[in-house]
Amino acid sequence: MITTKEKRKCLLTCARKGLLLAAVNRRLEQESLAPVNQEQWNLWRDYFVDIVRNDPYFEHELIDNDRSLAWFAKEVNQRRSKFIAS
C-alpha cells in the first residue's frame, strides 16, 4: 500500500477523528487524492492511529517514510524486549 505523504496525513487525521469510510473518501476526493477501500481504511482506523498515538517517532515513520504494519510490529516487539530486559 504505497501512498503519498499528503494522503497519509489525511488518513491519519481522519482516523483520529473516527470518520467512516464514506466520509474519508469524500475528504480524499476533496483533496484530489485516490480513495481507499475498506481493508485499507481498517488498517488506519484499527491499527495505525493507535500505534502512533503519543509517539512522534512512530508518527514520523508512518507519515514521512510510509512504514508498513509489519515494520511497526517489529519495532514494538523490539521496544518490549528492551523494556523487559532492563
Cβ contacts of residue 69 below 8 Å, gap of 6+?
Answer: 43, 47, 48
pLDDT band for 45, please (50, 70, 90 cuts): very high
3-state secondary structure of 19: coil
pLDDT of residue 80: 85
pLDDT of residue 1: 52
Give residue 67's domain range.
5-85
Per-residue pLDDT for 61 more than 70?
yes
Per-residue pLDDT for 59 more than 90?
yes
Number of domains the chain is built from: 1
